[in-house]
Amino acid sequence: MSETKPMPVVILDWRPMKRNSLLGFAKIQLGALKISDVTVNTNSGRLWAGLPSKPMIDREGAAMRNDAGKIRYVPILEWDNKNTGDRFSDSVVAALEAAHPGATREQ
């Protein structure tokens, strides 16, 4: 957890969707801003939240894939520094745990 003040995150909606490290998608409110499709992930006991992204599309309109065949994604929004991103992630995870107890447990 970051040692700085948490961001004022409110969970507006939670859609569980367990797939690999993904636990699900949250719709959040951060001050006056609502953000849909915030991902919440877990791996080896570590939890984190990420800003939404979209699939990379080639010239023919098909989703681009990496060498492993997985769809490649590009960020829609980005934080200007790692500390702010960590604060956001920690705040979303804490708000989700408070609003939906057990939602962040690995199944």
Q: pLDDT value at position 2?
A: 46
Between CA 92 and CA 38 the distance in angstroms is 9
Which CATH number fits the domain 9-99, given the four candidates 3.50.50.60, 1.20.1260.10, 3.30.2000.10, 3.30.1120.40?
Answer: 3.30.1120.40
Domain range summary for the chain, segments of one domain joined by +: 9-99
Three-class DSSP category at 63: strand
Output the pTM of the full model: 0.86
Q: pLDDT value at position 62?
A: 96
For the stretch 48-101, pLDDT in tens is: 999 999 999 999 999 999 999 999 999 999 999 999 999 999 999 999 999 999
Give strand ranges (E) for the chain: 9-19, 22-30, 33-43, 46-50, 53-55, 73-75
Does residue 35 carry a pLDDT above 50?
A: yes
Mean pLDDT of the region 28-50: 95
